[in-house]
Structure 1
Amino acid sequence: MLFHVTRCKQVDSFHEISIVGGGPSGIATALSLLKRGIKSTVFEADATTRPKAGETLPPTVMPVFKNLEIEALLDDPRHAICYGNSWLWGSTHIQDKHFMLHSGGNGWHLQREIFEEALISLAEERGIRIIRNAKIRQVDPSEKGWKMKLKVNNSETTVETGFIVDATGRSSKIARCLGVERHRYDTLVGVVGRFFVDESFELSLQTHIEAVENGWWYAAALSNKQIVTAFMTDAELLPKNYQNSSGYWDALTGTTLIRSLFPEHFQPEKDMVLHTQSAETSFLESIYGENWLAVGDAAFAYDPISSYGITSALGTGCYAGNAIAEHLSGAAEALPAYRYLTEKAFSDYLPLWDHQYALEQRWSEFPFWKKRISPEYE
């Protein structure tokens, strides 16, 4: 994990545009606004970048990176090349898809902490103000737009802002403060583990997916002889022993494809730390309102099986920055157009999501898979 020195900055009393959340969607929005000549302030709740699962980027992400002028971040040797996907899903036969047939070339396995920290640093270099360790407590309307109560570096403060961007991920902190309802299709969570293998062991540079009776596994190799894995299931179906290192490894050894990525006699560290994180498909009932909008997972959150994570975060940030710029210039249709584009992307995703899970019929009577025959949101 990278440790980031907390930036102790004086918090101004007014910010024209405040972006709450310093992840990819929030920074992408700030970069997109900056290209339109508009500065914003990013308020990030964490003082340091938290550990996250490795992220697989498909070749199709490159146009978004180029639009934001951040493609140089992928040159960091700590990110690994990904040559395609390998999966054991809906069949007992392993299937492969190689990116060499794609016009965009290879994909990438990102070290998320490194990527996100580099993205924040790049934004700061370009003049975007980022305030770390800033936790939103309350949001209320004001004459200037909004009044936000925050706790910054353990000190309570209040700032006013003309426009708020909710980039707080699935928690949709701002939208919740404004009373906007969030709908969830499922309760998917991922238990993430990191394993280090011997330097002499050759890692597979593909993304690996394997369906099992109570969920599915993801695995990807990183450049430092690290294999990141995630077991995905519904929160209420997650066995307690999967949340400790021995139980997690025992479950992993029961797989076929995922286990094959490790040396034959490999044993994990006994004190390996596991992280459980939400991964459900969900959406806000309304993704914008008067002087606010939501981006990334805060607006529409995708199942990791889609590989839409960072692609969606950066893409909606691009759209949001332009929409806000047009809105501020008086274009009444700007925010509705943003809603239309993001809603369409989500509606296009839903049948593909259904189809992906419908491909797996071997465990159709087990709770995890049975619920996905005809998923309904709450």
Structure 2
Amino acid sequence: MEYFHEISIVGGGPAGIATALSLLKRGIRSTVFEADAVARVKVGETLPPTVLPIFRNLEIEELLDDPRHAACYGNSWLWGSEKVHDKHFMLHAGGNGWHLQRGIFEESLIGLAEERGVQIVRNAKIMQVKQAGKHWNLNLKIDHRETTVATNFMVDATGRKSKIARCLGIERHRYDTLVGVVARFSVDESFELSQQTHIEAVENGWWYAAALSDGQLVTAFMTDAAFLSHTYQHLSGYWNALTETTLIRSLFPGDFQPKPDTVLQIQSAETSFLESVYGENWLATGDAAFAYDPISSYGITSALGAGCYAGHAIADHLSGAAEALPAYRYLTEKAFSDYLPLWYHQYALEQRWAESPFWKKRIYPGAR
């Protein structure tokens, strides 16, 4: 069976929904096709106070009032020396940041979009893309049934997998193969968890930790896929490595032991980009276009901002502005090119393990 949708957005994460909401502000409705039936648990809980202007622009700031999200009052890091450094958000004009319950946030974002008129189709997996005259045919499997959707404009918001672009044969370039091994630990409610984001560099990578509102402490060990030993992929080895840290271990009660059923998840976190972020009646947004290292703290902020730009670019393009999509490419490429030297600088600050394969791999090419 074939259906027609004027604009089809493949991917219902923050970038895809932000694109749909941005289009809606321009009076244009779209359909979002999301592969999962419910939002998956993802890493990326921390929002800095600088995210507020984007939330206000998209008119979604009410989502931050949900009591299931916890306040975040700053960052604490052990990086480049043996001294712990702190940066408090309360000195920022925007006040505190947030530690999100990521699944709840994304479900709420989708729900808000639906309330405003965005059509959301869940459990819709993209299989194939073909150009048919002036429109595109998307071959989807929706609730395990194959369906063809004809669309005049399509958006790739499928994250680092960039499924639409891959179907079109667009090459993806990767700067590294960073991965994160994530664990969520339940801590006794009588123990007061720190409401900061914590980062700690170690010889073969770095650790991240953030406390959520339900007494969970989310941790992630970040390293290269090539250096990820089996030790970190099993709870006992992961916990033993965590106990050898200084800052991250201090966040847990002294006698804490993880529950045997604690699940570890491995997620890609590489810095990468598409060779082309737009073409004839399509564009890529969010991580599908440009993906950032989690150390940058861009995450959701970048995804929402990119989606906001994408929506306006599509609206201008459909109204006949020939420069709309090239301008979108320029803005997104400029943001990424501005990020790269900052990314290299951040890793260059850590010199304690200069001969470690992980840190040697992150030397700025011009400094080799």
Q: For this structure pair, what is the TM-score category when the shorter chain's length is used for normalisation?
A: over 0.9
- Residue from 286, 296, 299 that aligns with 1:309: 299
- Mapped to 1, the partners of 2:2 and 2:13 lie a distance apart of 22
Cα deviation digits, residues 162-194 of structure 1 (max 9, x gap): 000000000000000011000000000001100
Runs (5+) with no aligned partner, structure 2: none
Q: CA deviation at 1:143?
A: 2.1
- Mapped to 1, the partners of 2:100 and 2:43 lie a distance apart of 9
Amino acid at match of 1:157: T
- Mapped to 2, the partners of 1:189 and 1:375 lie a distance apart of 21
- Residue from 167, 177, 183 that aligns with 2:167: 177
SS in 2 for 1:305: helix
Q: Which residue does the alignment assign to 2:84?
A: 94
Q: Which residue does the alignment assign to 2:191?
A: 201
- Mapped to 1, the partners of 2:360 and 2:226 lie a distance apart of 14
Q: Which residue does the alignment assign to 2:254?
A: 264
Q: Which residue does the alignment assign to 1:8?
A: none
Counterpart contact for 1:234–1:368, Cα < 8 Å: yes
Counterpart contact for 2:207–2:221, Cα < 8 Å: yes
- Mapped to 2, the partners of 1:31 and 1:225 lie a distance apart of 32
- Mapped to 2, the partners of 1:140 and 1:73 lie a distance apart of 37
SS in 2 for 1:114: helix
Amino-acid identity (%):
80
- Residue from 29, 40, 64 that aligns with 1:50: 40
- Residue from 45, 56, 70 that aligns with 1:66: 56
- Mapped to 2, the partners of 1:351 and 1:80 lie a distance apart of 32
Cα deviation digits, residues 304-358 of structure 1 (max 9, x gap): 0000000000000000000000000000011111111111110000000000000
1:1-378 equivalences in 2 (<5 Å): 13-374=3-364
Q: CA deviation at 1:144?
A: 3.8
Amino acid at match of 2:318: L
Q: CA deviation at 1:12?
A: 6.2
Cα deviation digits, residues 8-42 of structure 1 (max 9, x gap): xxx86111100000000000000000000000000
Counterpart contact for 1:54–1:228, Cα < 8 Å: no
Q: CA deviation at 1:157?
A: 1.1
Counterpart contact for 1:80–1:110, Cα < 8 Å: yes
- Mapped to 2, the partners of 1:54 and 1:298 lie a distance apart of 16
Amino acid at match of 1:116: E
Amino acid at match of 2:127: R
TM-score, normalization by structure 1: 0.96
Structure 1 segments of 4+ aligned residues over 2 angstroms from their partners:
none
Counterpart contact for 1:54–1:111, Cα < 8 Å: no
- Mapped to 1, the partners of 2:282 and 2:91 lie a distance apart of 41
TM-score, normalization by structure 2: 0.98
